[in-house]
Structure formats: C-alpha cells, structure tokens
Structure 1
Amino acid sequence: MAKDPNGQRGPRIIKERIALDQGIHLTRLYVENTMRAQDPEGFHVLICIGPHQEWSGDGHDKLAGIGFPIWGVRDVWSGKWLGLWVVPNNRLKDSIAYLFLKLVHEYGGIPVQMTTDCGSELVSVYGFANALREAFVSDLPIEELAAHRFLQSIHNITIERGWLPLRLEWGENVKIFWDAGSTTELDHLRDAFNNHRVRKDRGKALPSSLAPNVSFSLYEKYGGENGLLPVDCTIVKQLMENIGGEDLIRFVSRDYAAKAQAVFVDQLGNPKLTMTNVWDIFQEMLPCI
C-alpha cells in the first residue's frame, strides 16, 4: 500500500503483487480486511461532488468508417456534454490534446481530475493535465490527487453511457448524409442532450430529475461544489498554437474553407444547414468552387 499513495490498487491487485514480489500467497479476504484496517477511508464510495470535479473524455469510432470520428468530453457530476467534435482523426494525440486545451481555454480552467481510457493518443492530454496542475495549482500535489486518471473503457462510465443515445438518435442517420452538415447537427444534438430532463433515480448519488444544463449552472442549489481550477488562458492559447492550432481538426485547408464559406454566404445567402439539405446545398455550391 505504501507503493500506491493514490490508493488506485484494489485487494486483488495487492494480492497479486505480494505473490509476485514476495512469493507469499494470501487470500483476497485477508488482504481486503488488512487494507480496510490500515486505510478505512480508502474503501468509501467515491462520489463526484460538483461540476468540473471530473471530466470524462473518450472517442467514438462507430462512424469512423465513413469519415466521422468523434471525440467528446462530459462533466461527470452533471452529465453535461462539455464538448462533442467531429474530427478528421480521433487517434492523433495532438488533435485530442488540442481539443482538451480548447475546452480548458473555453472554461478558463482545468478539472480537478480528467479521466480517459488507456489509448496511446491520450498521452499528451495526460501531460498537459499534469503540467497545468503543477503550474497553476501547485497547492494540490499530483502525488495526493492525480490530475489525470487512465481507466479501462468499461470503467469510464459517464462518457461510455453517453454514446448509445448519440448513436441511436444521430449515428445511423448520418451515414446517408453528406459530412458538411455533421458538425452543425452534432452541436444541435449536444444542446438537446444537455437540455433533456432525465428521469428521477433514487439510487443515484449524482443529480437526477433535471436537465444537465440546470444542474451544471445551478450547482449550489443541488448541493454541488465547483471544482474548476483557474489557469492562465493566454498560456493555454499559446500551447494550442504550439502543437498545431486549429489545423489539427480541419477537414480542408484554410484557403478552401474561406472560398467555400464565401460561396455559401454570398451566393447562396447563408441558408440554414441541416442533415436533410446538406447534399442539395453542396450540389449548388460545387459549380462555384
């Protein structure tokens, strides 16, 4: 236990390590009872106590085969989708790091802890989470509370549970439409999820029977504590540019995007773009580009 100051290892892992290191085979029950006696608080149920205490991030690959890899972040306490992006590739560490920093810049701070699965594309997120904590919140040492925690996907519950409604409401339909409208529709769907009032769950320790936007904004009313740790956004912005900037998540070049936008606004009159009309709009734009 002395080798695990963050208390991340359960009785099964400790039992295996003792057998491996010392050659002593103990029962799991014996190990658990000893651990409870040494650190009773370590067995308390962990409950997130407010917004920004923990962000849960993950990629969604169900639509990657047709060019729509997604990466998203949810606030664990409220369930609010903080960010949901269609990107060219959600397996590139710089692209994912840019999205993490973009979210930090948007909110002006970092969460107490960021949790993701163990994908290799997340090493830069891990690095930035630790570096920003050490630079701006040095009174909360990483040794006492990790700034980033890697979990198996099945344990990264908040974000994993969010993908099924996304696929059911949006994923199957997007396969028959053109990608230009995907970001607009995804933003709309994120707003719909964040404003959807969830059912009452008496067995849930986190807020229920209200929309994520409500609990996120009025957290004090529902017993929450804001965990956002302020950072210098100027430095965060510079970090975003240093790793490649917005080009990391662009599908086309800046010049092409500017030309297409000019045609869309000046010649087509800036129509509302939806999943149902995006193909027609593309066909109108194509001769002009």
Structure 2
Amino acid sequence: LQMIDPQGLQNRSRGSRRLRRFPIISAGPNEQWSMDGHDKLAMWGFGIYGIRDVYSGFLLALHAFPSNRLAANVHWLFLETILEQKGTLQIGYPIQVASDRGSEMGQISETQFLLRQTYSTPELDDVPPHICLKSLRNITIERQWVHVRKEVVDLILEKIQEGLERGFVWTNPAHRSLFWWLFAPLVQGLLAQHVTFHNSFWVRRQPTKPNPSGGRRQDFFKSPEKFGGVECLQRIQLDTIREIMEIRDKVVTEGMLRWISEEEEKICLNAHWALGASAACWTLHEVWNLFEQMVPLTQAHLTRVFEQMEV
C-alpha cells in the first residue's frame, strides 16, 4: 500500500509539464508489489516482465516471454512468484499489487482479489487488492527499466545487430527458430544476473528516504524488522498452495512460455549434439559462431517443419 506525502498530491503547476514527485512510504515487504512489462526487445520476440517490492526495492521476478501482453504468461509469473515467497517459512501473497491498465493484468487481478477475499483480515477491507496507475506513477518498477536496458537490452541489441551483419535473416523462419533457441537462455540468464546484482547491491544511505537505505535490498526484504519495517506477507494454507500449483500448471498449457515447438527444439538439439563437446554451452560472445555452425544442420529440417504446417 502506498502512503503518499500530501505535498506530492498537488497537481502539476499550470503551464508546466513537469510531474511533481513524492516519496513512497511502505510499511514493509509484501505490502505492495509493483508490476510492469518492458518492450524494447519485443520486436525480436522477447517481452520482459518484472515484479518489484515497493518497500525494499527487491526484485521479485524478471522474466522474458514470447509475449508479455498475454494474460496467461504474466499470470504464470505472478503464481510462480507467490510460490517462491517464503516469509517466515510460509508462502503468501502481497496486500496489494500495482500496475498500469494493461489487459494482461486480468487474470492476476482475479487471483489477487480471490486471495484477499479468502485470507486477508477485515482490517484490510478498505485497501484495494489491485490498483491501476499511470506509468509515471508506477515508479517502483518503472525505475528499474533504465538499468535493465543498460545491463541487458542494449547488450542483446548489439549482438542482434552483429548477427544481421553476419548473415542472420529475421524473415527466414528457420533462422528465426534457431535464433530463439540460442538467445532465449542468454536473455533469461542476463536477466537473472541483473536480479542477483540488483538485490545484493549496497544502497547508499539516504536520510530523506522514507523506505530503508544504507544496506542491501535483499536484507531490507528478508529482515525488515532491522530497518523499522513489518512483514506484510499474507499467508495462505497448504490446500491453497496446492491449488495455486495446479492453476500454475494449467496456465502453462494456456500460455505461450516457449518460443519454438517441441519438434523445432528437437531439431536444434540434434544439431547441437552433432557438433560435439566444443558446443556444449555458449555465451553471448560466441553465439553467432555457433549459429553459423548450426544453420547448415538445421535449415532443411526446420524448413520442412514450416512447410508441413502450411499444408
């Protein structure tokens, strides 16, 4: 739940386009999760979605999908994030989620409302389970995209440009499938590195900041009592945890969590194995060398798959 400094509630001054900023005050971790998508790699088939805790700034999730606009995809990420919250050795959900008005939030909003209705205490009845904010107001996650772009997106875009100069043809379906097979784990790996660095990075002391500073975000999130905060995780019972796991598994079949079909993946795997131990793993630095080696081994087989799909 965001408690806003009254001074920050003033409207923009007449004749000025500058948005007045205000401090965000939160009681503790899991009071509010800020959620949003990042589209700078979307044209290449990678839609990024993030979830960040407002109190601590802790990055709860940062994941790449073929589409971050599909409700089932982001619902899967929300459920996964709930299942990963241990709190005091218990799984739970936040008091509130905040997002923009994107249509992909429909399933998440329904789940959040249901959990709140089932488990939250009457004292929270006046707190909306889900609030929709303009992007300029959903700043906890919005601020993260600047760093994601510098540390992940720009690196991927540079590599894609290199590939285009070396013969990668985006409009060639066989090239595109191989590109996704090679780049999907690289993109997700960079996102995971970003999460680890961000959460363990030492935040400098900011005396005027209402939420904690002068420490690591992972400490703010896991030990709020040391920083004047209160754990706000809304705990759920074992039966509901099983139900959430079942819903998550069902969402996998409804969503689009993979870039290529099982048949395409098998073709890529066989080609990769045929190259031997030297190609066992790959990095961003050498990915196009591997791409060039695999194209002759996959082109005809992948093309045949697409031709059969068109019949």
SS in 1 for 2:249: helix
Question: 5+ unaligned residues in a row in structure 2: which ranges?
Answer: 10-22, 86-90, 160-178, 299-311
Distance 1:155 1:265, change over 3 A: farther
Distance 1:193 1:271, change over 3 A: farther
Specify the alignment match of 1:56 in structure 2.
34
Q: Which one is further off, 279-288 or 221-230?
A: 279-288
Specify the alignment match of 2:92 in structure 1.
109
Given that 2:70 and 2:255 are in contact with CA atoms closer than 8 Å, whether structure 1 keeps it comes out as no
The residue identity in structure 1 corresponding to 2:77 is L
Given that 2:33 and 2:94 are in contact with CA atoms closer than 8 Å, whether structure 1 keeps it comes out as yes
Given that 1:52 and 1:110 are in contact with CA atoms closer than 8 Å, whether structure 2 keeps it comes out as yes
Deviation string, structure 1 residues 93-148 (Cα, Å, up to 9, x no partner) = 1111111111112222111111111112211111111012223x143477422111
Distance (Å, rounded) in 1 between the aligned partners of 2:34 and 2:283: 28
Given that 1:112 and 1:147 are in contact with CA atoms closer than 8 Å, whether structure 2 keeps it comes out as yes
How far is the alpha carbon of 1:68 from its aligned partner?
A: 2.0
Distance 1:244 1:169, change over 3 A: closer
Distance (Å, rounded) in 1 between the aligned partners of 2:218 and 2:110: 29
Instruction: Choose from 57, 79, 87 the match for 1:79.
Output: 57
Matched, 1:235 2:240: no
Would you say how many aligned residue pairs link Structure 1 and Structure 2?
A: 248
How far is the alpha carbon of 1:152 from its aligned partner?
A: 1.1
RMSD: 2.8
Distance (Å, rounded) in 2 between the aligned partners of 1:61 and 1:140: 38
Given that 2:30 and 2:232 are in contact with CA atoms closer than 8 Å, whether structure 1 keeps it comes out as yes
Instruction: Choose from 199, 202, 205 the match for 1:200.
Output: 205
Matched, 1:148 2:157: no
Distance (Å, rounded) in 1 between the aligned partners of 2:273 and 2:227: 44
How far is the alpha carbon of 1:278 from its aligned partner?
A: 2.4
Distance 1:54 1:138, change over 3 A: closer
How far is the alpha carbon of 1:241 from its aligned partner?
A: 2.6
How far is the alpha carbon of 1:176 from its aligned partner?
A: 2.7
Specify the alignment match of 1:248 in structure 2.
256
Instruction: Choose from 115, 118, 131 the match for 2:101.
Output: 118
Distance (Å, rounded) in 2 between the aligned partners of 1:255 and 1:233: 33
Q: Which one is further off, 264-273 or 207-216?
A: 264-273
Matched, 1:275 2:284: yes
How far is the alpha carbon of 1:60 from its aligned partner?
A: 0.6
Which TM-score applies when normalising by structure 1? Answer: 0.76
Distance 1:258 1:76, change over 3 A: farther
Distance (Å, rounded) in 2 between the aligned partners of 1:280 and 1:162: 32
Given that 2:29 and 2:224 are in contact with CA atoms closer than 8 Å, whether structure 1 keeps it comes out as yes
Deviation string, structure 1 residues 27-70 (Cα, Å, up to 9, x no partner) = xxxxxxxxxxxxxxxxxx86211111111000011221222211
Deviation string, structure 1 residues 203-239 (Cα, Å, up to 9, x no partner) = 1111112221122222221122111112322111111
SS in 2 for 1:202: coil
Distance 1:169 1:242, change over 3 A: closer
Specify the alignment match of 1:187 in structure 2.
192
SS in 2 for 1:252: coil
Specify the alignment match of 2:77 in structure 1.
99
Distance 1:265 1:227, change over 3 A: farther
SS in 1 for 2:220: helix
Instruction: Choose from 227, 230, 239 the match for 1:225.
Output: 230
How far is the alpha carbon of 1:162 from its aligned partner?
A: 0.8
Question: 5+ unaligned residues in a row in structure 1: which ranges?
Answer: 1-6, 14-44
Specify the alignment match of 2:218 in structure 1.
213
Specify the alignment match of 1:132 in structure 2.
115
